[in-house]
């Protein structure tokens, strides 16, 4: 009965869709297992065309697989993942491969990989992006784990991945938790992208008085140009949707409290630990948090705002400014996200090819966009870019957009419209390019109250001023 080359464990929607995707590709025979067997039976009954091999127990699953056995776990990330890994380890043999396709925190993946490796079994944390639709028709796949396991897994993953310009959207990201790490940053960038689009919509609506359907047309038009992306495309569809009950735009009857499943927060928490400013992503996460503080917002709703109502004079010119501000802020969000990838790669010893990451995000995933081609090209031309934003192509975008970006941030501030991602991205940009930062003053303050010392611009060494004494400067011996 050893005729399956791949197994899927966990047959909720994502698992079922991934199993169907696998089964639909030439050369794959898919064994399926779910803790509750009724779900396995339902899947087999609904999709006889898939030719699934049913496993009622983990042992049956192991027996149904060719060696090296390969199983993809698709259960809710957390305790269930550990439980299923333990069960698989008990029926698998050295050389077999266990893949976690859930949204695991990369540090969990690092821990699991180390534990499973002890048994001689490979463990691969694989980021899967694209939601239910992607799982079924072609996701973007971000596998970690050993190069050895990728030799077996790679062809299987390539068979189901989304395809962009003829190339499957999968690459071996790096060892142990690298795949789940990159997936996490992908989600963080997704938060920023969505928030930026939402700010653009809000500014246009309040500045021009256009209806959601009219703004949908604006997004459709933007989707013809350099902003072309899945998120811009679906934004137009959401804005055009009319509520059947009330006849109002759906966006006007949806409660304005944004939810989150936590991957954005992980991206920011991890960035804080790494000391990488992912301010655009952080503002996007915080904007969702603020939106959900309904009682606080209600209590604060009578706080004073600008005295006068705001309308722009030239709607078309303002919309073009907003488009440019969106593009510039988006470049910042991606640049910051790639900074986080670079910092983590250094910390964890991952050899991550940034251009490859951008390449596999071009289809299948939520942040798929035309400009990912430009990111791939930027890293292909200059692999050691100090920051993505410094690639010639992105410098040119900044030169072309920064004035409009400033006008939009000024307008938002004066009109009392929150634009946290637009404005924090602009502050980051100005901070990055500044000749001098007031960090010098912060160092002085730190030295004053904590003798934390400072360095000088004009000579080597570490210095401390004796603030409570005669205020002379001494060269400090130990550095803090
Ligand atoms: P179930 O159908 O038996 O509940 C999403 O919740 C998927 O994860 C489902 O397939 C679910 O199986 C599975 N799952 C959740 N917790 C699990 C556990 N502890 N062991 C095995 N599968 C689990």
- Segment 364-416, tens digit of pLDDT: 999 999 999 999 999 999 988 999 999 999 999 999 999 999 999 999 999 99
Distances from the Cα of 338 to the Cαs of 185, 238, 263, 286, in angstroms? Answer: 8, 29, 16, 20
- Segment 20-63, tens digit of pLDDT: 999 999 999 999 999 999 999 999 999 999 999 999 999 999 99
Beta strand 163-164 with 167-168 is antiparallel
Distances from the Cα of 137 to the Cαs of 17, 19, 362, in angstroms? Answer: 8, 11, 15
3-state secondary structure of 48: helix
Q: In a mutational test of the pocket of ligand 1, which residue from 8, 9, 10 has the highest number of ligand atoms less than 8 Å from its CB? A: 10
- Segment 297-330, tens digit of pLDDT: 999 999 999 998 899 999 999 999 999 999 999 9
Residue whose entry in the numeric block shows the structure tokens 């246009």: 204
DSSP at 101: -
Q: Which residues are annotated as a binding site for NADP(+)?
A: 10-15, 34-36, 75-77, 103
ω into 325 cis (within 30 of 0): no
Q: Which residues are annotated as a binding site?
A: 10-15, 34-36, 75-77, 103, 129-131, 186-187, 191, 261, 288, 446, 452
Q: In a mutational test of the pocket of ligand 1, which residue from 12, 37, 41 has the highest number of ligand atoms less than 8 Å from its CB? A: 12
Residue 430: what pLDDT? 98
CB of 406 within 6 A of ligand 1: the answer is no
CB of 85 within 6 A of ligand 1: the answer is no
Among residues of the chain, what percentage have pLDDT more than 70?
A: 99
- Segment 225-259, tens digit of pLDDT: 999 999 999 999 999 999 999 999 999 999 999 99
Model confidence at 478, pLDDT cuts 50, 70, 90, reads low
Distances from the Cα of 461 to the Cαs of 107, 412, 454, 468, 479, in angstroms? Answer: 37, 45, 9, 22, 9
User: Is 228 designated active site?
Assistant: no
Model confidence at 477, pLDDT cuts 50, 70, 90, reads confident
DSSP at 170: B
pLDDT beyond 50 at 273: yes
**Which helix (H) or strand (E) segment is 340 a member of?**
helix 315-348
């Amino acid at each position: 009965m050893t005729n399956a080359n791949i197994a899927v464990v966990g047959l909720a929607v994502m698992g079922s869709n991934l199993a169907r995707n696998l089964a639909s590709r030439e050369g794959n025979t898919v064994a399926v297992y779910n803790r509750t067997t009724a779900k396995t039976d339902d899947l087999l009954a609904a999709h006889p065309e898939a030719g699934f091999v049913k496993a009622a127990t983990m042992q049956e699953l192991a027996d149904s697989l060719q060696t090296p056995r390969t199983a993809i776990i698709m259960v809710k990330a957390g305790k269930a993942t550990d439980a299923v890994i333990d069960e698989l380890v008990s029926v698998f043999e050295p050389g077999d491969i266990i893949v976690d396709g859930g949204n695991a925190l990369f540090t969990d993946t690092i821990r699991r990989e180390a534990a499973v490796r002890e048994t001689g079994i490979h463990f691969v944390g694989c980021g899967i992006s694209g939601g239910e639709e992607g799982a079924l028709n072609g996701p973007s796949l971000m596998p970690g784990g050993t190069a050895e396991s990728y030799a077996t897994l790679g062809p299987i993953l390539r068979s189901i991945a989304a395809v962009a310009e003829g190339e499957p959207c999968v690459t071996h990201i790096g060892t142990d938790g690298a795949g789940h790490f990159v997936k996490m940053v992908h989600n963080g960038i997704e938060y920023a992208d969505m928030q930026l689009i939402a700010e653009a919509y809000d500014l246009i609506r309040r500045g021009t008085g256009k209806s959601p359907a009219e703004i949908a047309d604006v997004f459709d038009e933007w989707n013809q140009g350099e902003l072309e992306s899945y998120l811009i495309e679906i934004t137009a569809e959401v804005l055009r949707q009319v509520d059947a009950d009330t006849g109002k735009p759906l966006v006007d009857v949806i409660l304005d409290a944004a939810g989150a499943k936590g991957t954005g927060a992980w991206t920011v928490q991890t960035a804080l630990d790494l000391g990488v400013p992912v301010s655009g992503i952080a503002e996007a996460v915080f904007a969702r948090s603020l939106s959900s503080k309904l009682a606080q917002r209600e209590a604060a709703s009578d706080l004073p705002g600008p005295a006068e109502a705001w309308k722009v004079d030239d709607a078309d010119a303002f919309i073009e400014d907003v488009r440019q501000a969106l593009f510039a802020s988006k470049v910042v969000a991606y640049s910051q996200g790639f900074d986080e990838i670079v910092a983590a790669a250094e910390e964890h010893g991952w050899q991550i090819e940034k251009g490859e990451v951008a390449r596999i995000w071009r289809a299948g995933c939520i942040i798929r966009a035309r400009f990912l081609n430009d990111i791939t090209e930027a890293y292909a031309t200059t692999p050691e870019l100090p920051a993505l934003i410094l690639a010639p192509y992105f410098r040119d975008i900044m030169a072309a957009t920064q004035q409009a970006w400033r006008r939009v941030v000024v307008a938002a501030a004066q009109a009392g419209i929150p634009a946290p991602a637009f404005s924090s991205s602009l502050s980051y940009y100005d901070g990055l390019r500044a000749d001098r930062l007031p960090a010098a003053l912060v160092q002085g303050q730190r030295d004053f109250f904590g003798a934390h010392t400072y360095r000088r611009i004009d000579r080597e060494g570490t210095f401390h001023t004796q603030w409570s004494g005669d205020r002379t400067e001494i060269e400090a011996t130990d550095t803090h």
